[in-house]
């Protein structure tokens, strides 16, 4: 963004602070919108599912994006000189906005119809599958419109659809497979990597140089995280060895205000720490100490993780050590230059301009933290429909209504087949047949534990009828 968008903004007279602020803040959205490395680390430290953390963070991430857009739109309306429109000669894609809006509406309609059709069989997964089908239908139509020269879509609509759909497909490979239960977060990351390789190959940019650069960057990041893990573990073992976690738990649970007081204090601490240390250190050292007091106060850990994630996102913009500010500083112009399109002299971007541009977006992120704390429902929807135990009524049938004897009630009638009889022997010296057989013939499979039977005739006893009484006397 700093290499592509910032020169264009400066070329057409955008306010420097707003231009640098928009680029820095939009880059930090990747820390709260899935698939986010910050959310993965927080889920691991809080002992919760990465999929649940992604579901909980999705709505707050989209709302934060809307707040950014609303802030920029308000500046464009009330301070048009800060964000001037492009001159007519720079609008190479023409108008065509109506065609784009129609395509978006058609895709939305297809997605909604597919959701209604799939909901009975797929449940909540029908929403994801419906959105996928809607986006795929619009993309295929745009391809047909371009290659068959139907000319029903404007050039702007074609360009937007063709450029956006491959990245959206990559997002589906990661998030869609996780939400649908097809892949675990680790497997979803692998599918995303394979999808990125396929897209690079389709664009003809997959080569040995790119593979080498990707492997080096991955190895460097993995080593960086591993050494942070080692240092954090050494600190944690020492801190836990002197019962520091117990002291922290008692301190935080004793904060006035209960749950709200705990959240205010924790967010204030993390916000201040974000000025000076990276989110990895905060996640591996501070967050594990918050789990026990949060559970003691009855705070949902996914909700707490999303609040911390939004707070850590602000740490990327807080000077003097905000990483987004450093990244932009590394690519922004340090010396004046002459623009090759307009021939105008463009002044260099000062570091103070970058810092000032981030202040307004830090305020927006602070507002987002307040909204997530005040409205936990935007996160807790990940639980699905909740049932109030107080509203549940369990009705049991009355004893004996199904034909069976009541539990614990002795049955004084004839014994059922296969039920031992512990009473006295029936007429004829043996237990009567439960099914109405002749006296003296034991019921099938019914051992007799009562008094001994009378001496039997010379005929042998029935096969399979054990006699547990006194041994009979042979004639």
Local confidence pLDDT in tens for the 475 residues of the chain: 788 888 888 888 899 999 999 999 988 888 888 878 889 889 988 989 888 898 899 999 999 999 999 999 999 999 998 999 888 777 776 667 888 889 999 999 999 998 888 887 777 788 888 888 999 999 999 999 888 888 888 888 888 888 888 888 888 888 888 878 888 878 888 888 888 888 888 888 888 888 898 899 889 988 988 888 888 888 888 888 888 888 888 989 999 988 999 999 999 999 999 888 888 888 888 898 999 999 999 999 999 999 999 999 888 888 877 888 888 888 888 888 888 888 888 888 999 999 999 999 999 999 999 999 999 999 998 887 766 677 778 887 777 665 555 555 555 555 555 555 555 554 444 444 444 444 444 555 555 555 555 555 555 555 555 555 555 444 4
Count of beta carbons in the 10 Å neighbourhood of residue 19: 25
With respect to residue 42, please indicate whether it lies within any of the assigned structural domains: yes
Question: Does 226 fall in a domain?
Answer: yes
Kindly state the greatest CA–CA separation across the chain: 131
Residue 421's beta-bridge partner residues?
448
Task: Answer yes or no: is 354 within a domain.
Answer: yes
Query: Residue 125 contacts by C-beta under 8 Å, 6 or more apart in sequence?
Result: 118, 179, 180, 181
- Residue 285 is given by DSSP the state I
Give the pair of three-digit tokens for residue 276.
């000076």
User: Around 30, how many Cα atoms within 13 Å sit in the side-chain half-sphere?
Assistant: 8
Q: How many CA atoms lie within 13 A of 11 on its CB side?
A: 15
Enclosing domain of residue 62: 5-92+211-385
Q: Per the domain annotation, does 244 fall within a domain? A: yes
Inter-residue contact 158 to 145 (CB < 8 Å): yes
- Report the alpha-carbon distance of residue 462 to residue 453 in Å, rounded: 14
**Structural domain count of the chain:** 1
Query: Per the domain annotation, does 100 fall within a domain?
Result: no
Look at residue 324 and tell me if it is in a domain.
yes
Report phi then psi at 95, rounded to 5: -85, -100
Neighbour tally for 205: CB within 10 Å? 10
What residues does 346 pair with on adjacent strands?
337
Query: Cis (ω within 30 of 0) for the bond into 320?
Result: yes
Residues 6+ apart with CB under 8 A from 452: 469, 470, 472
- 426 within domain boundaries: no
Q: DSSP character for 283?
A: I
Q: Would you say residue 350 lies in a domain? A: yes
């Amino acid at each position: 963004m700093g290499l592509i968008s910032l020169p264009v903004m400066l070329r057409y007279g955008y306010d420097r602070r707003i231009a640098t602020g928009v680029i820095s803040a939009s880059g930090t959205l990747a820390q709260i919108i899935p698939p986010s490395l910050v959310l993965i680390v927080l889920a691991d430290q809080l002992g919760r599912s990465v999929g649940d953390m992604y579901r909980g963070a999705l709505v707050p991430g989209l709302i934060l994006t809307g707040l950014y857009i609303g802030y920029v739109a308000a500046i464009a309306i009330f301070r048009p000189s800060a964000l001037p429109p492009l001159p007519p000669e720079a609008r190479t894609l023409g108008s065509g906005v109506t065609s784009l809006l129609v395509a978006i509406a058609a895709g939305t309609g297809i997605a909604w119809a597919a959701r209604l059709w799939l909901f009975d069989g797929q449940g909540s997964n029908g929403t994801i599958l419906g959105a996928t089908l809607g986006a795929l239908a619009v993309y295929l139509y745009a391809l047909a419109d371009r290659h068959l020269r139907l000319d029903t879509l404007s050039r702007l609509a074609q360009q937007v659809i063709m450029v956006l759909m491959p990245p959206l497909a990559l997002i589906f490979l990661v998030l869609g497979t996780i939400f649908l239960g097809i892949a675990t977060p680790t497997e979803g990351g692998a599918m995303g990597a394979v999808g990125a390789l396929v897209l690079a190959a389709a664009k003809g940019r997959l080569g040995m140089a790119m593979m080498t650069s990707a492997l080096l960057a991955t190895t460097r990041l993995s080593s960086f995280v591993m050494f942070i893990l080692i240092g954090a573990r050494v600190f944690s073992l020492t801190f836990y060895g002197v019962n520091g976690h117990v002291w922290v738990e008692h301190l935080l649970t004793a904060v006035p205000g209960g749950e709200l007081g705990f959240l205010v204090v924790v967010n204030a601490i993390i916000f201040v720490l974000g000025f000076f240390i990276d989110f990895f250190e905060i996640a591996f050292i501070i967050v594990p100490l918050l789990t026990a007091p949060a559970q003691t106060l009855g705070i949902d850990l996914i909700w707490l993780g999303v609040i911390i994630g939004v707070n850590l996102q602000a740490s990327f913009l807080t000077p003097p050590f905000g990483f987004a500010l450093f990244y932009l500083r590394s690519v922004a112009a340090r010396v004046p230059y002459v623009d090759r399109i307009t021939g105008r002299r463009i002044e260099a971007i000062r570091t103070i301009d970058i810092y000032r541009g981030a202040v307004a977006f830090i305020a927006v992120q602070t507002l987002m933290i307040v909204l997530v704390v005040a409205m936990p429902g935007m996160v807790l929807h990940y639980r699905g429909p909740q049932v109030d135990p107080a509203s549940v009524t369990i009705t049991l049938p009355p004893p004996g209504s199904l034909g069976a004897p009541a539990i614990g009630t002795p049955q004084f009638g004839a014994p059922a087949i296969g039920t031992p009889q512990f009473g006295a022997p029936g007429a004829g010296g043996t237990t009567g047949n439960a099914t109405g057989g002749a006296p003296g013939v034991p019921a099938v499979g019914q051992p007799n534990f009562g008094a001994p039977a009378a001496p039997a005739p010379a005929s042998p006893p029935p096969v399979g009828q054990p006699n547990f009484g006194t041994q009979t006397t042979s004639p």
